[in-house]
Amino acid sequence: KYKMARQQKPPELTADDMYRANQRLKEKAIEKLRIQGKPISEEEILRQILFGEPEAYR
The pLDDT tens digits along the chain (58 residues) read 556 556 677 778 788 988 888 888 888 887 887 788 877 787 877 777 777 765 555 4
The confidence score (pLDDT) of residue 54 equals 54
* 8 belongs to a structural domain: no
* 28 belongs to a structural domain: yes
- State how far the Cα of 34 lies from the Cα of 48, in Å rounded to an integer: 14
* 27 belongs to a structural domain: yes
- State how far the Cα of 58 lies from the Cα of 56, in Å rounded to an integer: 6
* 3 belongs to a structural domain: no
Owning domain of residue 23: 14-57
Q: How many CA atoms lie within 13 A of 6 on its CB side?
A: 3
* 21 belongs to a structural domain: yes
* 39 belongs to a structural domain: yes
* Number of domains making up the chain: 1
Q: Is 7 helix (H, G, I), strand (E, B) or coil?
A: helix
Q: What is the DSSP secondary-structure string of 20-57?
A: HHHHHHHHHHHHHHHHTT----HHHHHHHHHH---GGG
